[in-house]
Amino acid sequence: MWQLASTGVRAHRGAYAGTALVLAVASAVIAVTGVLFESGLRTGASGDLLSGGLLMALASSYAGTALVVVVMVVAATVSLALRGRRREFAMLRAVGATPAQVRQTVTLEVAAVSLVAAPLGAVAGLFGARYLDPMLVRAGMVAPDFASSLSPLPVLVAVVLIVATAVPVGRLGAREAARIAPTAALQDSAVEASEVGRVRRLFALVLTAGGLAAAFSSLWIPGIVGGATASISAFMLVGAAALAGPVLVGWLFDRVARLHPSAGGPAGMLAVRNVRGFSRRLTTVVVPLALVVATATVQTSVNQAITTAAEQEINAAVTADLVAVPDEPAADLAAQVAQVPGVAAAVPLATVPAQVRTDGDEDLAFASGLAWEAAAVRILPADLAGTLDPDVVAGDLAALGTPDTVAVSSDTAFETGAGVGETLILRLGEDELEATVVAEFSRGMGVAGLVAGPATAEAHGLPVVADTVLVDVAEDAVADDVAGAIGALGATTSDVPGYATTATQSAGGENDISTALLLLLLVVVAVGAASTLALTTASRREELRLLHRTGTTRRQLMAMTTVEALVTGVTAWALGTVAVVPAVIGVSAGLLDGPPVVDLAQYAVVSLGVVLLALVATTIAANRTTRLATAVA
């Protein structure tokens, strides 16, 4: 069987080359995620618990989306690479091959390609992860001398995941030809069914219902957690479209054909009839392209929604006239500001690093890293002088004057399950303590997830140095004059809207990391989409040859494939847009006081890119395929 499988790989090296490229790129993305996670574990184990927790949080949040995208793209690419060989599988059955032998041959072929491509991509991802190090340093997530931990473990994990995804898909791709009678398989191998099975329909309906439910989960799951949950709906809806693809895509193409039955002359008519008749084949092209639109739009829109929500909450929470941020931390800055003429009140705010226990099981493997989450505790003085309103919904902030007490945002309360009167296990400095929750407030994105009083920080040896001073200006004073005098003390002063804008835009390093990781995902999807487009076009040589023999010119064939690519690209764009709309609405509804937000610039670029990718990839493949088809016709 191995000889037959190796011969199959060599004979179809063109198709497997595109598949191998997709597997390699997908493996690289998984390896990068593994490097981030392992670096977080090792950094935390070395004593830098805050940096380790931030790296693991970054890797964990990225891993879920990356795995969904990788599985969908790899499955679509491998499935399409094998779909064009249905006639070959039928011939094997007709000459005496058993179903088990066909499945075994395909398994060996896909395994061989995966075991060559995945390690190469994983090794590239392993060393490429080092290019993220400067971004992590700029974001303040790690120390300036940080270097990612490199070991064989991320490579091994990436290879296992890729093989575990590609091989089962390969077996499924050969199942249909292996199950039915040889003569029926040979007869049906040139025919493409547009229907899907009952089980597949059921799963598509379940994913659709789950996607719509997830989209609006932000209405009862607060804050960023709700937004992240809502964003998953876009991937669930694209997955539902993949399952119901032949029916859905066929229906869409049928509507196009009815609206313009003879658009574009003979070439246009042939194109429309082709897309109607081969909806199953084109589904494997439409879904990856739709995934590009959905992935890019939902990620950028969620980031924009979070930024806008944080800005709204800062504006609502800070009731002072001015906000002063020192150029260099100074313990006595608030006292100096208070002495400035025209200042009615100067309230210092500080931040201390901490870790929160997220799992009470001490015996968890790697509990020192996985059971703790990095956090920043906002230190508030006992008297806020009316300059800050976190919007307390339960308890009383006055109780923060007692050591080992904290107030939590609604988001933190939901994540940890700790409400007023309960305890949170924290690490402050070298100490581990059980802090009593004395209040809950709603404006966590504008204030902080955790709030404590100076007594708690000082009791555990942490210095309280003001990083922000809230300033109230006297009624008879001029705000600009006061701001100028405070600036002379070595602080940057602005009004509250200006401070909110600066604060939400100051995470430039984090945005760089998010953008880089998003681009990695889009590369996986784009390579997968380009590969499926090329494979689909190249597999049509016999069809194009027959059309040429019946009088169709090469120019008409190129025009036909161009129209098909345009229809396919626009359909993918529409499907991706529809899939992402519930997520955008749900995320905005849970985070914002106002209409939904969308990164329109990014959406426009990605939408145009999807259509152009369909056109360019198809044109390149069609140029060679039509030349070969017409040359031998």
Q: Which of 170, 177, 172 is nearest to 112 (CA)?
A: 170
Per-residue model confidence as pLDDT tens digits over 50-73: 677 778 877 877 787 777 777 777
- What per-residue confidence (pLDDT) applies to 292? 82
Predicted local confidence at residue 120, as pLDDT: 93
Rounded to an integer, the average pLDDT of 327-340 is 82
| Alpha carbons 51 and 39: distance in angstroms, whole number | 10
The predicted-structure confidence for 246-283, as pLDDT tens digits, reads as follows 677 666 666 665 655 555 566 666 666 666 656 666 67
Residue 2 has pLDDT above 90, yes or no: no
Lowest mean pLDDT of 4-8, 29-33, 60-64, 484-488, name the range.
Answer: 4-8
DSSP code of 388?
B
pLDDT tens per residue across span 145-190 = 888 888 899 999 999 988 888 888 777 766 665 565 555 554 544 4
User: How many residues does the structure list for the chain?
Assistant: 633
Higher pLDDT, 351 or 83: 351
Per-residue pLDDT reduced to its tens digit, 532-566: 777 777 777 777 777 777 777 778 778 888 887 88
Matching residue, tokens 């789950």: 210
Mean pLDDT of the chain: 79
pLDDT digits (tens, 9 = 90+) for 103-112: 788 788 888 8
Nearest to 124 by CA among 21, 40, 43: 21
Give me the amino acid identity at 631.
Answer: A
576-602 per-position pLDDT tens digit: 898 888 888 888 877 777 788 888 888
- What does the block give as tokens for 288? 């990856």
Domain ranges of the chain: 1-191, 193-314+500-633, 322-494
Per-residue confidence band for 7, with pLDDT thresholds at 50, 70 and 90: low
Using pLDDT thresholds of 50, 70 and 90, give the confidence band for residue 440.
Answer: very high
Quick: pLDDT tens for 131-145: 888 888 877 778 888
Query: What is the pTM (predicted TM-score) of this model?
Result: 0.73
Joined together, the tokens standing for residue 187 give: 């007869």
Angle in degrees, 0-180, between the axes of helices 554-591 and 223-243, rounded to the nearest 10:
150
CA distance 71 to 22: 11
| pLDDT: which is higher, 128 or 227 | 128
Give the Cα-Cα-Cα angle 504, 32, 528 (nearest 5 degrees). Answer: 100
Span 356-405, pLDDT tens digits: 877 654 444 344 445 677 788 899 988 887 888 899 999 888 888 889 99
**Residues contacting 618, CB < 8 A, separation 6+:** 533, 534, 537, 561, 562, 564, 565, 568
Q: Which of 25-34, 229-238, 266-275, 374-383 has the lowest mean pLDDT?
A: 266-275
pLDDT at 264: 53
Q: What is the pLDDT of residue 308?
A: 86
Quick one: pLDDT band at residue 244, thresholds 50, 70, 90?
confident
